[in-house]
Amino acid sequence: MKQNHPKKVRDLVDGVLLLDKPVGFSSNDALIKAKRVLNAKKAGHTGTLDPFATGLLPLCFGEATKFSQDLLEADKSYDTTVHLGQTTDTGDTEGEVIASRTVDVTLEQIHAVLERFRGPIAQVPPMYSALKRDGKPLYEYARAGITLEREARNVVIHKLELVSYEAPFLKLSVTCSKGTYIRVLGQDIGEALGCGAHLNALRRTQVGALTMDGMLTLEQLTAHEAPLSLLAPVDALLSSFPAVHLTAELAKRFLNGQRLALGKEAVVVPAGQGRVRVYLDGKLLGTAILGEYSILAPERLIAFNSPPASP
């Protein structure tokens, strides 16, 4: 007779892990591994890194998942090595070489081509991507030998700098808008140079305001005797927003979803309008929109096991 084993109880874990994703792991594989080590009930990542890529993968746990969308929308920075002269079917080292050409380019040509890719550009998403068509990711069509028409998408390359060139390897530093495929950027640069290319290496160094400072490997997380202590607080995701500190009475109304007229209260109000992070006695309550006349409108609220103390 089949025995029913009790389902493992997961913990309510809140915080952010700045993971250094290893080569060979999908972003989801890395998330599942970290979630298991932390025994966390709820988790999510903040933008996919290809399996061959390494570097900064912020993982959100518990209440931090409410703010992960901000990082999906954020600019990102990468260090990458472009292998000139070889084109692969995936645009990276995981694919099969489908064309080889002679590499005969000068530094002057490289600088001229890079200038063409700075600023707003249009990119055609690769077939080997997780974008879906009729409910199925494009990479499944690609693996079946099917190529579909894809519409070009507008992205912005904020920074594109040459780090070094030792033929056939071109090392670049890139900062770009959301939705940018560095694989496609490398391929397009190779085509513009007349020799084709694929990515030999890719390392993400920044996501929004988050950098590699404090980044940890899965090995470090697994080996630590108190892995929960390695998590950054939820508001690590929100450091670019001004802070508003409420009184206990205002905090109670804020957590009930009420709009607050801060101009009439003894609260320091940041200059300007837009998103802010809201606190009571150093504890994050959530985010809000600060509008005209210092009106504070709740946006995303933290769920507390017990409400903040009343005045």
pLDDT in tens, 290-305: 999 999 999 999 987 5
Q: How far apart are CA 141 and CA 65, in angstroms?
A: 31
**pLDDT score at 149:** 85
Question: What band does 3 get if pLDDT is binned at 50, 70 and 90?
Answer: low
Taking the whole predicted model, whether its pTM rises above 0.85 is answered as yes
Question: What band does 306 get if pLDDT is binned at 50, 70 and 90?
Answer: very low
Q: How far apart are CA 289 and CA 254, in angstroms?
A: 12
**pLDDT score at 227:** 95
- Strand intervals (E) in the chain: 15-21, 43-45, 54-61, 76-84, 86-88, 97-100, 119-123, 132-133, 136-137, 153-166, 169-176, 197-207, 210-211, 243-245, 260-261, 274-280, 283-290, 295-301
* pLDDT tens profile 252-269: 999 999 999 998 888 999
Nearest alpha carbon to residue 182 among 89, 78, 94:
78
Q: How far apart are CA 220 and CA 19, in angstroms?
A: 10
- Is 50 designated active site? yes
**pLDDT score at 196:** 97
Element (H, E) at 253: helix 248-255
The identity of residue 169, as a single letter, is F
3-state secondary structure (DSSP) of residue 142: helix
**pLDDT score at 236:** 92
Whether residue 86 is predicted with pLDDT greater than 50 in this model: the reply is yes
**pLDDT score at 4:** 60
Find out whether the peptide bond into 58 is cis, omega within 30 degrees of 0.
no
Q: How far apart are CA 225 and CA 231, in angstroms?
A: 13
Q: CB neighbours of 226 closer than 8 A, spacing ≥ 6?
A: none
Q: CB neighbours of 4 closer than 8 A, spacing ≥ 6?
A: none
Average pLDDT over residues 13-33: 95
Contact (Cβ atoms closer than 8 angstroms) between residue 56 and residue 32: no
> Which residues share a beta bridge with 107?
none
* pLDDT tens profile 239-249: 889 999 999 99
Environment class of 8 (CB within 10 Å of its CB; exposed 0-12, middle 13-18, buried 19+): exposed
Whether residue 122 is predicted with pLDDT greater than 50 in this model: the reply is yes
Q: What mean pLDDT value characterizes the chain?
A: 91
Contact (Cβ atoms closer than 8 angstroms) between residue 65 and residue 16: no
Catalytic residue among 50, 70, 188, 235: 50
**pLDDT score at 97:** 97
Nearest alpha carbon to residue 206 among 158, 167, 258, 274:
158
Average pLDDT over residues 202-226: 95
